Structure 1
């Protein structure tokens, strides 16, 4: 087990793609132990993706790409700008509101940040915002997609941990909205302090303009609502909901927005295949790793270690979240979810932590790791697209990072913030 972890981290820091680093390290364990046949590793790799609930992932990824090529992003930007563009730090607020709405479409923080950094960064810099601040708010605000349905991270967590994906989707709504307001408040404070938009002439939109723009976006904004209602009331499962989402995206793109051409559809399919290939390869490789974790009884060892340190459920939760956050600094979110869920979820449940509550906190922290040095995938994406240094991004992002960490602590100490909605709906 120790040798496997050493091989894994050596490959990780050698910039080997995460799927291959996990897979090679897992195979290395089987080759160096006499307790398990090598064929078991091959079987785990082959069967790792053979699960009905996992069908939700490729379907939701495809649905998000179809809606994006159907012109929905430009409509949402216009609507976001009308809602918040007139505020101090207006374009930064636009980015945050856009992330909240795109979270119900893309399900991917990196995809959201990449789209926004291409579209908004130049305008933000022209308006007087520093480049670090501009890409910092774009990067951190994309974190909202980790909780707003259909979050890919929540689907994977629910699949690995045997937790209701419907409950996770409902539980993510309030944290997502709170994150939106927390980041907007931080944006307002920072913008006031730095004098952003002091010379900008604000033009508050009329109610009619907002209403017209809202009507243009209504079909995209209904997407997560239909999804939640369908799953919660048993109309379809999470996996079937992914297929419904694809059909819905096709109908909206072709017959309502009328922007879905054959060329755009082919681009959406190609992009979805590329994304899904990466995700499924990580899942298959992580299946070997997860098998080794179970074989070595790692969850029990970790549990005994943590309970020896403290018997307080709250402190156990905070220690787990600290480890999860540190892991997120070095590894990609999908891989972290697949590797850490089987280790820490049993410990959290043993400490009396609700699995839905723990799942929301864990996925937010893991995704946040992608927006921080040294190896944040989302951070590298926005820095690469905007040709900005990691130092600039870090300097611009730190106020938002601290604001999000404070919100996570509040949700950790007050679980009802997360559990209020799923408990309300389950009791209905």
Structure 2
């Protein structure tokens, strides 16, 4: 697998699209083993697309695109302003609240960061926030998105690792809240030092609060319906994806009446591009994964980690460090697809709960979206706000520190992650 890994890195460095780099380097493994029929790469690629559990991915992508066109975003922004507008840091705190509220809607950290940059970026700079600070908080705030149901990373990890997606959904709420608090504290410290003012001076009136909650209630109920449906056995993860699509159409067409035929077609077009790229990546990753299993890479990695430490906490920290470093160069979705078959068996052998490990692993994999040199969310935000990467990197350091601190806390205290899923699912 060494030659395959080197080939993958070289192909990435010369600019080949990730999916083709994975497929090409994976095929190279079979070229090294002529005793293996070369029909296997074709077979595993096709069979990967026939995995029924993966049907949830395109369905949730379609639901997210429909909900973004349903009028929910504007109402959630109003709610976020009411909830956090009086905190020091003003619109920066509002952006964090919006990320938390939007997590169950968009499901994509990159999409969430780009959307908020267009909505709030210019207004934040007009109010005196530096471009680096603005870009940093709008980017790092999106770390909440993948761990609030129905995050695509959870579905990928659960499907590949045979972990309960319902428990993963339930486990994301408390870590997301802690990340929100950690990032909010980092904003507060910076705002206090620089004199950034709250967005609003007066307390919201009861009528304003009521209108804001009423406007955003349909989005807030969305993850609740998902968990209740899974807990009561009404839906499988794939079936609840279909429910999510119908729910998004119901809100956009009948409740808010903001999604007409044009919005419906635009949602399908966006979903077609998103689904195509993600599913093509998943299909070709099967070639790479076949070689990983055949060469017993998980066992080798497990032996290496156990050789360094027999302590579960130390092993999880070590795995997260490796994942974050690799994430500097590879997208989070690719990391989850490629590394889950390697690191999850290691964590299980050391006694980790797969749900606890999964939440920590997904957060660690997501960090790379916000860091140089190839962070997709970072580039999206900096491009929209015309912010130099150097300024972004310097000013976003407190937000990176906050995310790392919360991740370490989650590793040390598994009960924080497992409290909600144990309460709901037993």
After superposition, where does 1:305-316 map in structure 2 within 5 Å?
A: 305-316=304-315
Partner of 1:116: 116
* SS of 1:266 mapped into structure 2: helix
| C-alpha distance in structure 2 between counterparts of 1:40 and 1:175, whole Å | 40
Decide whether the 8 Å contact of 1:128 with 1:197 is kept in 2.
no
* SS of 1:370 mapped into structure 2: helix
Q: State which drifts further: 225-234 or 356-365.
A: 225-234
Query: What's the offset of the Cα at 1:308?
Result: 1.4
| C-alpha distance in structure 2 between counterparts of 1:201 and 1:104, whole Å | 27
Decide whether the 8 Å contact of 1:87 with 1:202 is kept in 2.
no
Q: State which drifts further: 31-40 or 214-223.
A: 31-40
Partner of 1:15: 15
| C-alpha distance in structure 2 between counterparts of 1:49 and 1:385, whole Å | 35
TM-score (norm 1): 0.98
What do residues 281-326 of structure 1 show as CA deviations (whole Å, max 9, x unaligned)? 1101111111110010000011111111121122111111111111
Unaligned residue ranges in structure 1 (runs of 5+): none
1:365 aligns with 2:364: yes
Partner of 1:221: 220
1:330 aligns with 2:329: yes
Query: What's the offset of the Cα at 1:201?
Result: 6.3
| C-alpha distance in structure 1 between counterparts of 2:389 and 2:251, whole Å | 39
Decide whether the 8 Å contact of 1:227 with 1:241 is kept in 2.
yes
1:287 aligns with 2:275: no
After superposition, where does 1:5-404 map in structure 2 within 5 Å?
A: 5-197=5-197, 202-404=201-403
TM-score (norm 2): 0.98
Decide whether the 8 Å contact of 1:155 with 1:165 is kept in 2.
yes
| C-alpha distance in structure 1 between counterparts of 2:298 and 2:346, whole Å | 7
Equivalenced residues, count: 426
The RMSD of aligned alpha carbons is 1.1
| C-alpha distance in structure 2 between counterparts of 1:369 and 1:296, whole Å | 27
| C-alpha distance in structure 2 between counterparts of 1:286 and 1:20, whole Å | 9
Decide whether the 8 Å contact of 1:357 with 1:418 is kept in 2.
yes
Query: What's the offset of the Cα at 1:35?
Result: 3.1
Decide whether the 8 Å contact of 2:179 with 2:406 is kept in 1.
yes
Decide whether the 8 Å contact of 2:90 with 2:200 is kept in 1.
no
Unaligned residue ranges in structure 2 (runs of 5+): none
Find runs of 4+ consecutive structure 1 residues off by over 6 angstroms.
none
Q: State which drifts further: 13-22 or 334-343.
A: 13-22
* SS of 2:39 mapped into structure 1: helix
| C-alpha distance in structure 1 between counterparts of 2:395 and 2:35, whole Å | 51
Decide whether the 8 Å contact of 1:133 with 1:397 is kept in 2.
yes
Decide whether the 8 Å contact of 1:356 with 1:419 is kept in 2.
yes
Query: What's the offset of the Cα at 1:36?
Result: 1.5
| C-alpha distance in structure 2 between counterparts of 1:182 and 1:6, whole Å | 38
Query: What's the offset of the Cα at 1:243?
Result: 0.1
| C-alpha distance in structure 2 between counterparts of 1:362 and 1:139, whole Å | 19
